[in-house]
Chain A
Amino acid sequence: MSWTDFLQFAIKAFILTAVLLGAFAYMTLFERKVIARMQNRYGPNRVGPFGTLQPIADGVKLVFKEHIVPKKAQRPLYDIAPMLSLIVAITAYAVIPLGPASLEIFGAKFWVADINIGILFILSISSLAVYGITLGGWSSGNKYSLMGAIRSTAQIISYELSLGLSLLGVIILASSLRMNDIVESQKTVWFVFLQVPAFIIYCIGAVAEVNRAPFDLPEAEQELVAGYHTEYGGMRFAMYFAAEYINMVTVSSIATTMFLGGWQPPLWFLPVELGPLWFVLKVLLFLFGFVWLRATLPRLKYDRLMQVGWKWLLPLAVLNLVITSIVVALVS
Chain B
Amino acid sequence: MANPFKATGNTFKGMGVTLKNIFHKPLTVQYPEHMRKLPPRERGRHVLHRYENGLERCIACMLCSGTCPADAIYIEPEENDPTQPVSFGERHARVFQIDILRCIFCGYCQAACPTGAITLESNNLLVSYTREKMLYNKEDLIEPKGTATRGAALAWEATPPPEARALIPDFQGLFDGWRTTAAAVGKGDLVPEASGQVDTPKPLRKQASLIPPGQAVPKSLPGQREEE
Contacts and interface: CB of A to CB of B under 8 A. Distances in A.
Which of A37, A293, A312 neighbours the largest number of chain B CB atoms within 10 Å of its CB?
A37
Interface string B39-81: 0000000000000000000000000000000000000000000
A34 B11 CA distance: 19
B26 A293 contact: no
A41 B28 contact: yes
A312 B2 CA distance: 13
B15 A42 contact: no
B30 interface: yes
B15 to A, nearest CB: 5
A163 to B, nearest CB: 20
B221 to A, nearest CB: 65
9 nearest A-B pairs in the assembled complex, by CB-CB distance: A38-B18, A296-B18, A37-B22, A41-B28, A296-B15, A41-B26, A38-B21, A296-B14, A40-B27
B4 interface: yes
Given A38-B19, A40-B24, 12 more contacts: A37-B22, A38-B21, A38-B22, A40-B26, A40-B27, A41-B26, A42-B26, A295-B18, A296-B15, A296-B18, A297-B15, A312-B4
Contacts of A293: 15
A292 interface: yes
A37 B4 contact: no
A41 B4 CA distance: 33
B105 to A, nearest CB: 26
A293 B15 CA distance: 7
B16 to A, nearest CB: 9
A60 to B, nearest CB: 24
A39 interface: yes
A297 B11 contact: yes
A41 B14 CA distance: 18
Residue among A36, A40, A297, A312 with most chain B CB within 10 A = A40
Contact of A297 (B14, B21, B27, B28): B14
Interface in B170-221: none
8 contacts: A37-B22, A37-B26, A38-B21, A38-B22, A40-B26, A40-B27, A41-B26, A296-B18
A40 B21 contact: yes
Interface string A20-52: 000000000000001011111110000000000
A297 B26 CA distance: 21
B18 A292 contact: yes
Interface residues of A, number: 14
A39 B4 contact: no
Interface size classification for chain B? 10 to 19
A295 B17 CA distance: 11
A292 B26 contact: no
A39 B14 CA distance: 13
Contacts of B22: 34, 37-38
A39 B19 CA distance: 10
Contacts of A42: 26, 28, 30
Contact of B15 (A34, A40, A41, A292): A292
Contacts of A34: 22
Contacts of B11: 296-297
Nearest to B23: A37
Interface in B1-20: 4, 11, 14-15, 17-19
Nearest to A37: B22
Nearest to A304: B1
Contacts of A36: 26
A39 B22 CA distance: 8
Contacts of A297: 11, 14-15
Contacts of B18: 38, 292, 295-296
A41 B30 CA distance: 10
> In this complex, which of A40, A296, A312 has the most chain B Cβ atoms within 10 angstroms of its Cβ?
A296
Interface string A266-295: 000000000000000000000000001101
B28 A39 contact: no
Interface string B111-130: 00000000000000000000
Nearest to B8: A200
A295 B28 CA distance: 18
Nearest to A307: B1
Contacts of B19: 38, 292
A39 B21 contact: yes
A295 B18 CA distance: 7
A38 B16 CA distance: 10
Contacts of A38: 18-19, 21-22
A312 B3 CA distance: 13
A255 B11 CA distance: 22
Interface in A190-216: none
Interface in A26-83: 34, 36-42
Contacts of A40: 21, 24, 26-27
B34 to A, nearest CB: 12
Nearest to A35: B18
